[in-house]
Amino acid sequence: MSYQPKSAFSAAINAVEETLIAAILGAMTLITFANVVVRYAFNSNILWALEATTYLFAWLVLLGAGYAVKTSAHLGVDVLVNALPAGPRKALGLICAAVCSTVALLLLKGSWEFWAPFAELSPTSGRWFPTGFEEARGRGWFETDDVPMPAWLNAWFAEWFTLGEPEEKIPRLSHDFIMPGAALLLSVRFILAGVDIWTGTRGTLVASHEVEDALDEVAAAREAEERRA
């Protein structure tokens, strides 16, 4: 099923997501290709290429998880579910959405606790659910191993975060932000999916027949091509 935004705001968010995912994938490809050329043509290497593509891949996966929930792109096996009447099928969909939302919220809490010290913020207290905030040793000075800090970003970042002290490498604050950010997005998407199942605008969380649909499209395209020939 193709995703259709319900409002101008949803369309704008969708455009930002798709553009960011495409840009990350393109950047990974370019960095990897450039590193291969440098290695085999000049017997050298881009020192920060591997680390940068690793972090970009993490961004791609974590952003893609929420995007796939929104577009029903996650795969699933729903043979037994589809064999049930509409009422029980809807109830199972709501249970699935509730479980997934709970797991996503737990991921949000855990990722915030991991990321907060890098941003000089307070992690939440409580084992399962936030019960407040607690003090933690700040880790805002932690940097990546190899990825250099762009000069244009360093001036702004130093004034805002490090009290005028420039950074040599990208701080952990920036790239690890994707963990709580993506967990929040994933939580919202699962909750909205549950609302859509409740209101009847969506059947399930997954699209288990997308491979069959793709094969049908290929077969239809082939038949149309044969007719033209």
Task: Give tens-digit pLDDT for 46-81.
Answer: 888 888 899 999 999 999 998 888 887 777 777 777
Distance CA 22, CA 26 (A): 6
209 pLDDT more than 60: no
Distance CA 140, CA 120 (A): 6
Distance CA 218, CA 199 (A): 33
Quote the pLDDT of residue 117: 85
Segments making up each domain of the chain, as ranges: 8-228
Q: Give the ranges where the chain is alpha helix by DSSP (H).
A: 8-42, 49-70, 79-82, 86-115, 151-160, 172-175, 178-199, 210-228
Tell me the whole-structure pTM to 2 decimals. 0.77
144 φ/ψ angles, rounded to the nearest 5 degrees: -70, 170
> Mean pLDDT, to the nearest integer, of 123-146?
78
Quote the pLDDT of residue 200: 82
* Helix (H), strand (E) at residue 171: strand 169-171
Quote the pLDDT of residue 56: 92
Quote the pLDDT of residue 143: 76
